[in-house]
Each structure stands twice: as C-alpha cells, then as structure tokens.
Amino acid sequence: MKIGAALCVLLLSVIAVHAAEIATADRKSGFEFMGRDTQAMQTDDTSNPGMLNVLDGGALWSGRRARTRRRAHLVMAMPASA
C-alpha cells in the first residue's frame, strides 16, 4: 500500500515535471528548427519574400501606394549584387 502510494507520487511528479513550461535558457525560435536554405532565405532581405510586404506596408504608411509599390517590385527584382 505504502509502496503503491509512493509510486503514485513519483509518477505524478514525473508527469508534473514533464508538463512544465520550457525553461528560459532552453527556448528556441522556430528559426533554429529550419534547414540552412530556409534560414538563409529569411536572413537575406533580398531573398526574403516577406520584405515585399514590408515595402508595400511602407508605401501604405506614407500614402505613396501605387508608385512605390511598382518601384518596390523593381528593387526586389534586381540581382543581389546591384
């Protein structure tokens, strides 16, 4: 009986530990779970497709929508070395 209770407590504590939140030092961005190619795509602004939306957003922000949107796409279409 006592052993059973002890086992129960032990099991519950294991479950409690297992279901705990991730320790601050162990937290990892989704970035770290990606392959190198996808990481490179994010890090390089000229290959990150999200930057097109950022440029669109900048145009909307300053109220220069159509013209800047055209220009933004031209900039993004240029080779990285340009």
State which residue, 48 or 75, has the beta carbon closest to other proteins: 48
Distance of closest approach, residue 74 Cβ to other proteins, in angstroms: 17
Structure tokens at 71: 């220009």
CA atoms of 6 and 33, how far apart (whole Å): 39
State which residue, 7 or 39, has the beta carbon closest to other proteins: 39
The amino acid present at 73, given as its one-letter code, is: H
State which residue, 2 or 33, has the beta carbon closest to other proteins: 33
End-to-end CA distance of the chain: 77
Which DSSP string do the residues of 51-76 spell out, in sequence order?
A: HHHHHHHHHHHHT-HHHHHHHHHHHH
Distance of closest approach, residue 2 Cβ to other proteins, in angstroms: 30
**Residues within the interface to other proteins (CB under 8 A):** 18-22, 24, 27-31, 33-35, 38, 41-42, 48-51, 53-54, 56-58, 60-61
